[in-house]
Structure 1
Amino acid sequence: MNQAIVFLAVALVFVPLAVRLGLGSVLGYLLAGVAIGPLGLALVSDPAALLHTSELGVVLMLFVIGLELEPQRLWAMRRAVFGGGSAQMAVCAALLMPVGLWLGWTWQAALVASLALALSSTAIVVGLLQERHLMALPVGRHGFSMLLFQDIAAIPLLGLAAALGSAAPADATASGTGLTQLGLQAGAVVAVVLLGRFAAYPAMRFVATLPVRELFTGLALLLVLGVAALMQAVGLSMGLGAFMAGVLLAGSPYRHALESDLLPFKGLLLGLFFIAVGMSMQLGLLASQPLQVGLGLLLVVALKALGLWLLGRFIGLHPSQRTLLAVLLSQVGEFAFVVLAAGQLSGVLPTDTAALLTLIAALSMATTPLLLMAHDRWLQAEEAPVRPADAIEPDHAPVLLAGFGRYGQIVARLLLATGIRPTVIDHDADTIDSARRAGFVVHFGDATEADLLAAAGAAQARVMVVAIDDPQQASRVVALVREHWPQLRIVARARDAVHAMDLMEDGVHHVQRELFESSLRSGRAVLEALDFAPYQARQLADDFRRYSEGFLRSARADRHNQDDLIRRVREAREQFERQMQADLARQQRRPGDGGWQRDDGPPA
C-alpha cells in the first residue's frame, strides 16, 4: 500500500511538470523513477521485481495497438507503412550498427541494439504532430506510417532478441525437444486464432447483454492476460499473444468498448513500467562515464536524424519537411526499453551495455523538444526569411477577409463579381505570390495583429470574414476583432463541429463549417441517384441542416467533456433518424405530394 501511494504521488508531481515543460509524459515517468530509485530517495528497494510486474502495461499497450490495426487499414496504407517504415528501420539501423561493431560488440549485440535504437517514440511524435496540426501534411502522414510500422516491428524484435541470445549448438535430444516446443508454440498460435474467432465474440456478446457493466471490463482483462499467459507458457512473448488477440478483435463491434475499458489499466501500468525503467537506469554512468554517455547520445540522435533526412528525399518530401521529419523521429522510442531489457535477459546484450543504451534512449527523449525549438527558430528562418507585412493603403473597403486559401478565394471571387472589393490579408508568401500572378490584390501580414487590422480599415469596415484554416489562429482573430471592433459582423470558417461551437460561443455572427454544405449537396446527389425525387432529396437535406445547426446550439455546453458530447451526439442522431423515418413513412402514404421534379426545376 505504501509503495502504491509513493508511485502515484511521484507520478502526479513529475509527469505534469514534464508535460508543462514540453518534455512529454514518458520522460516525466522516467524522472519519477529516478527520484524514488536507488540513486534518488531509495523509497523502493527492488526495481527488478517492479519491472517484471509492470510489464503487463506493455502487454496491454500491444493489445490496444492490435485493436487499431485492422487489415483493411493496413492494406490502404501498405506502401507508406511497409515501404517507408521498413526503409526507416533499415536505414537507421544500418547507420547505427557499424558503431557497435567498431566498439567490439558481437554482431548479434550490434544488430539488436541498432534495431532497438532505430525505434522512435509514438507518444512523443504523435503528440507533436497533433499539437502542430501536421497529421494531414505529408510529413505527418509519412511520420505516422513509420511509427505504425515500428509498432508492428516491435513484436518480431522481441523474438529476435530472445532467439539471438539463446542460440546454442543443439544435440539430438535438444533437437527433439526443440521440435516439440515448436509444435506447442504453433498450437498456441492456432488456439489464439480460434479463441478470437469463435469464442471471444460470443462471450463478449453475452456479457454485453448483462446489466453489470464491470463484467465486460473483467472479460477484457481475462482475455488479454489469458492469451499472454498461454504464450508465455509455450515460450513465446506475452506481448505477441496480446498483439495477436488485438488484431483478431480489430473488426469486432466491441473494439471501442474493449479499448475504452483497458485504456486506464494500460496507462497506469505503462506509467509504472516507465517508472521502473527510470529506477533501473544507471545514472551513475553520467558520473563514471560522462564521455561515453554524451558521445553515445550525440551519435544516436545525429545518425538517426541523418538517416531520416536522407530517406525524406526518396519519399518526396520538401526540404523543410525533410528536416522536420528528421527532428521529430530522431529520439529513441519507449519500446526500445522493452527490446533492450529483452536483449539483456536473453544474454545477447551485456548488462553494462544494456544499461548504457537504456540511459542514452531515455536522455534522447529530452532532446526532441529542444531540437524542435531550434528548428523553429533557426532552420525555418534560414529557409524562409521573415517577410515584413505589406503597407496597406486605407481604401475604406466594407469587407476585410483574412485567409486566401480555397475557402477565402471563393468568398473573394463572389464579392468581386458583385462589385465589392474586399481587403484581403494572408500570411503565406507562396499563396500571395500565386494570387498576385492571377490578378488578385492580396496583402501579406498576420491578421492576429491589431495594428495590421487597424491599418486595413477595420474601424470603417462592416464585415470581417475569417477564412483561416488554423482553428487556434482563427479564434485569436475573432477575439481580437470582438475586443477592438465590436461593431464588425464576423463571418468565420470552422474546421469542424467543435470549432464551430467555440466560434459561436465567442460571438461570431455566422459560422460556416468548411465541408458541411458541399457534403450536404453530395448527400442530395446520392439520394437522387437512389431514385428519391429531387424535391424530396432537397427537403431531407434541409431537414438535416436544421437538425445540425440546432444541435450545435444545444450542445455547446457539453463540448469540453468528450464523454458527455459523444452521448449527446448519439442521442441526437438516433432522435433525428427516427424523425426522418417517420417523415418518409408519411410521405409514402401521400404519393401525390411529389413536389417539383428534376425537369421542372424548383418553384419560382
Structure 2
Amino acid sequence: MATSTTLFLDATVLLGGAVIAAPLFKKIGLGTVLGYLFLGILLGPVINFIHDGESVLHVAELGVVLLLFIVGLELKPAQLWNMRSEIFGLGALQVFVSGVVIAALSLPFGVGLSTAIVIGFGLALSSTAFALQLLEDAREQHTPHGKRAFSILLFQDIAIAPLLIMVAVLAAGSMELSMESAKLVAIAVASLIGLVLVGRYALNPLFGIIANTGAREAMIAAALFIVMGAALLMNYAGLSMAMGAFIAGVMLAESSYRHELEANIEPFRGILLGLFFIAVGLSVDLSTVLENWLIIALLVPALLTVKAAILYGLCRAFGSPHNIAVKVAAVLPQHGEFGFVLFSAAASAALLDREQASLLIAIVTLSMVLTPLCVKLGSMLVSESQHEHMEEDFEGAEGSRILMIGFSRLGQVTAQTLLAGGCEVTILDTSAERIRNAAKFGFRIYFGDGTRKDVLRAAGIEKATMVAVCTNKVEVTNRIVDLIRNEYPDINLYVRSYDRAHALELLTKDVTFQIRETFESALKMGRALLEGLGHSAEDAQLIINDVRRRDLERLRIQAREGSIMAGSENLHIKPVPEPLVQPRQEAQPLDEKTEQALQGDDDTADAKA
C-alpha cells in the first residue's frame, strides 16, 4: 500500500510541476522542453524527491515511440521513398563522419581504439525526441531543414542495430562478423519485412472491423496495441522501438482511419513525451558532474561545436543553402537517448568502465539540456536576406469551395469572416514565417505559389467556386488573375486591389468583386473623426454614404473614359457649406452588378451621375 501511495504521490508531483514549468518556460521564450528538463533536475538530483529516475525513463520512452508513430502517420510511403537519398546518403554520412571524427578526438585521452570507436559512434547519434519536439514547437516539421533533420534522425534509428552488433564484435576481439551477429541481422531484416507486410495487408481490415462495432474505446486500445506491438517486435530484432512505431505509422498513412488514430494517440504522446524530458532531468548524475565538472565544461561545448560543424558541412555538400544548413546543425548537435543504450551495452561488454560510462551519460544528458540554447544561437546565425522556402504539401487541401491566395492583413480578417460563417477555406501563401504563425492559430494554410497552375490544381481550385486573391503586390495579383481567368474562366474572382489605378485595371479583367484594402477603413476613420468633432452618428453616416457614392461614380466614369482624371468633379476638395441630403439610393459595392453596369448601359450610368 505504501508503494502504491508513493507512486501516486510521485505522479501527482510530476504532473503538478509540469503544469507550472512548461507554461512558465514557454512564456519566457525558453520552450517547454527546457522547462521539463529543469523540473526533472530539480525533483531528482537537487532535492532528491524522486530517486528512481531510470525507471521513469523506461516508462517515458513510450512517449518517443508514440511521437515516431504520429510522424509516420503524416508521411506516406511515396514521400518516404522520395527521401531515400537524404536518409541513406546524408544520414549515413553524418553517422559515419561524426563517429570517425569524435573517435579520433577520443584517442589522445588515453582510451583504446575499440573504446574510442564506441565513444565516437555513441556520441554521433542525436536525440530524436528533443529534435522533433523542438521542430514541432516551432511548426517547422515540414520545412526543408525540418525534413533534412528528420532524414538524419531516421537513419540514426536504423543504425542502432548495426552499432549494437559492432559493440558485440569489438568485445569479442574480432572485427569479423560472427555467426551470432549474422543471425541478429537476419532477425532484424525478417522482422522489418514482417512488420511491413502486416501493416500493408492486416491493419486496415482490423480497424475497419473495430470501427463497424462503434466501440471507440476499442479503437483507442487497438491503436496503442499496434504501436506497442510494432515497437516490441523491433526491440526484439535489435532495432529501436521508435523505428517499429514509425514503420507502423507509415503503413497507416494512407488509411482512412489516419486522422482518428492520430487524435486517439496524441494525448498519450504529449503526456509521455513531457515525462521523457522530465526523466532525462531526473537521470542527471550530479555527483559525476561535480567530480568531473571541468572536463564536462570543456567537452560538452566542444563536442556540440564539432558535431554542428560536421552537420553544416554535410548539408552544404548535399546542396542545402546556408540558412537550412545552419538550422539543421543547430537542432541536431546534441547526443541522443540511444547513446544511453550503446554505452550501457559497452559497459556490460567491458569496453567501457563504469566511470567512463557515467561520464559519457552525463555528457549526453547535458548536451540535451543545451539543445534549446543551440537552436537560439542558430537563429542568430541565419541570414535574414535569404528567403525561406517550405516544402509544398497539399495533403487534405482538396474540397473547399473557397480558395484564398495570399494571407495578407485583409486576407486574415476575410478568412475569419468566412470561418465564422461556417465556410471551409483553403489558404495559400509563400511566407514560411506567416504560415507557421497562422498554423499556430489553426488556419488551414499551405505553402504554395499562386502564380503556378500546378500549385492551384494541387490546392483544389478545380473543386472551388470562388477564389479570393489577397496578395500585396500588384504584379503578383495581376499574374494570378490572368492565370485563373485563362484557365478557369467560370470561377468567381474576389480581388484585393492596391490602389485606384489597380482597381480600374482589374475591372477590365472581368473580376467578380474588387476592393481597395484601405478604402473602407479610411471611410470608418473619417466617420470617427466627424463624430469626434460633434456630428451625430446619423449625419456622419450620411456623409460617408455620399463619399462612397461619389467614389463609385468616379470609378464608373474613369472606367468608361479610360482616364484617371475623369470624374474629378465628384471629389470633395473643400468643406461643403450645407448639410448633406441623404441620397435616394445608397451606392452599391463594386460587385458583379456594378461590372455589368460598367460594361453595359452607359445611358443608365449617366443618369445616375
2:94–2:311 Cα contact (<8 Å) kept:
yes
AA in 2 matched with 1:275:
I
2:102–2:120 Cα contact (<8 Å) kept:
yes
Match of 1:118 in 2: 124
2:25–2:35 Cα contact (<8 Å) kept:
yes
2:62–2:272 Cα contact (<8 Å) kept:
yes
| Whole-angstrom CA distance in 2 between matches of 1:212 and 1:104 | 62
Give the secondary structure class of the aligned counterpart of 2:256: coil
| Deviation by residue 1:461-505 (Cα, 9 ceiling, x = unmatched) | xxxxxxx9897xx69x99xxxxxxxxxxxxxx98399979x99xx
Task: Tell me if 1:363 matches 2:366.
Answer: yes
Shift of 1:189: 4.7
AA in 1 matched with 2:202:
A
Match of 2:76 in 1: 70
Shift of 1:282: 1.0
2:234–2:244 Cα contact (<8 Å) kept:
yes
1:18 corresponds to which of 1, 25, 32: 25
Shift of 1:57: 2.5
Match of 1:45 in 2: 51
Task: Tell me if 1:495 matches 2:429.
Answer: yes
1:295 corresponds to which of 267, 289, 298: 298
Match of 1:87 in 2: 93
Task: Tell me if 1:8 matches 2:10.
Answer: no
> TM-score when scaled to structure 2?
0.57
Change in 2 beyond 3 A, CA 1:245/1:97: same
| Whole-angstrom CA distance in 1 between matches of 2:334 and 2:299 | 12
Task: Tell me if 1:156 matches 2:158.
Answer: yes
1:29–1:271 Cα contact (<8 Å) kept:
yes
1:166–1:347 Cα contact (<8 Å) kept:
no
Shift of 1:313: 4.0
| Whole-angstrom CA distance in 1 between matches of 2:104 and 2:366 | 22
2:164–2:342 Cα contact (<8 Å) kept:
no
| Whole-angstrom CA distance in 2 between matches of 1:201 and 1:68 | 16
| Whole-angstrom CA distance in 2 between matches of 1:245 and 1:63 | 7
Match of 2:41 in 1: 34
RMSD over equivalenced CA pairs, Å: 4.8
Task: Tell me if 1:147 matches 2:82.
Answer: no
Change in 2 beyond 3 A, CA 1:345/1:66: farther
| Whole-angstrom CA distance in 1 between matches of 2:294 and 2:49 | 30
2:38–2:278 Cα contact (<8 Å) kept:
yes
Give the secondary structure class of the aligned counterpart of 1:23: coil
Shift of 1:68: 3.8
Task: Tell me if 1:542 matches 2:492.
Answer: yes
Change in 2 beyond 3 A, CA 1:223/1:88: same
Change in 2 beyond 3 A, CA 1:269/1:347: farther
Task: Tell me if 1:515 matches 2:450.
Answer: yes
AA in 1 matched with 2:108:
W
Give the secondary structure class of the aligned counterpart of 1:208: helix
Task: Tell me if 1:250 matches 2:253.
Answer: yes
Shift of 1:111: 3.3
Give the secondary structure class of the aligned counterpart of 2:285: coil
Match of 1:262 in 2: 265
Shift of 1:296: 1.0
Task: Tell me if 1:307 matches 2:297.
Answer: no
| Whole-angstrom CA distance in 2 between matches of 1:342 and 1:62 | 24
Give the secondary structure class of the aligned counterpart of 1:209: helix
Task: Tell me if 1:100 matches 2:106.
Answer: yes
AA in 1 matched with 2:255:
S
| Whole-angstrom CA distance in 2 between matches of 1:373 and 1:177 | 46
AA in 2 matched with 1:286:
V
Change in 2 beyond 3 A, CA 1:165/1:535: closer
1:65–1:151 Cα contact (<8 Å) kept:
no
AA in 1 matched with 2:271:
L
Shift of 1:43: 2.2
| Whole-angstrom CA distance in 2 between matches of 1:101 and 1:67 | 43
1:36–1:43 Cα contact (<8 Å) kept:
yes
Shift of 1:129: 6.3
| Deviation by residue 1:124-153 (Cα, 9 ceiling, x = unmatched) | 6567667878778xxx51x32432223322
1:332 corresponds to which of 332, 335, 343: 335
AA in 1 matched with 2:153:
D
| Deviation by residue 1:252-306 (Cα, 9 ceiling, x = unmatched) | 3323322332222222223223322221211223321111101111211121222
**Identity percentage of aligned residues:** 33
Shift of 1:116: 3.8
AA in 2 matched with 1:164:
M
Task: Tell me if 1:199 matches 2:202.
Answer: yes
| Whole-angstrom CA distance in 1 between matches of 2:110 and 2:203 | 49
| Whole-angstrom CA distance in 2 between matches of 1:182 and 1:193 | 17
Change in 2 beyond 3 A, CA 1:360/1:183: closer
2:141–2:147 Cα contact (<8 Å) kept:
no
1:161–1:342 Cα contact (<8 Å) kept:
no
- Matches for 1:159-170 after TM superposition, within 5 Å: 159-167=161-169
1:16–1:25 Cα contact (<8 Å) kept:
yes
AA in 2 matched with 1:495:
D
1:158–1:237 Cα contact (<8 Å) kept:
yes
1:276 corresponds to which of 271, 274, 279: 279
Shift of 1:334: 5.3
Shift of 1:199: 2.6
Change in 2 beyond 3 A, CA 1:152/1:538: same
Change in 2 beyond 3 A, CA 1:320/1:203: closer
Give the secondary structure class of the aligned counterpart of 2:213: coil
| Whole-angstrom CA distance in 1 between matches of 2:105 and 2:84 | 31
AA in 2 matched with 1:61:
L
Match of 1:285 in 2: 288
| Whole-angstrom CA distance in 1 between matches of 2:218 and 2:139 | 39
1:91–1:307 Cα contact (<8 Å) kept:
yes
User: Bigger shift: 354-363 or 186-195?
Assistant: 186-195
Change in 2 beyond 3 A, CA 1:83/1:181: closer
Structure with larger Rg:
2
| Deviation by residue 1:94-117 (Cα, 9 ceiling, x = unmatched) | 322212233234444433433343
1:119–1:150 Cα contact (<8 Å) kept:
no
Change in 2 beyond 3 A, CA 1:307/1:324: same
User: Bigger shift: 266-275 or 112-121?
Assistant: 112-121
| Deviation by residue 1:529-583 (Cα, 9 ceiling, x = unmatched) | xxxxx999643x23999xx99xxxxxxxxxxxxxxxxxxxxxxxxxxxxxxxxxx
1:95–1:307 Cα contact (<8 Å) kept:
no
Change in 2 beyond 3 A, CA 1:145/1:235: closer
| Whole-angstrom CA distance in 2 between matches of 1:344 and 1:154 | 21
Shift of 1:220: 0.8
| Whole-angstrom CA distance in 2 between matches of 1:127 and 1:274 | 10
AA in 2 matched with 1:198:
Y
Number of residue-to-residue matches in the alignment: 424
Match of 2:211 in 1: 208
AA in 2 matched with 1:13:
I
Match of 2:4 in 1: none
1:63–1:246 Cα contact (<8 Å) kept:
yes
User: Bigger shift: 63-72 or 5-14?
Assistant: 63-72
1:221–1:262 Cα contact (<8 Å) kept:
yes
Shift of 1:122: 5.4
| Whole-angstrom CA distance in 1 between matches of 2:213 and 2:378 | 54
| Whole-angstrom CA distance in 2 between matches of 1:295 and 1:36 | 26
| Whole-angstrom CA distance in 1 between matches of 2:11 and 2:22 | 16
Change in 2 beyond 3 A, CA 1:145/1:93: farther
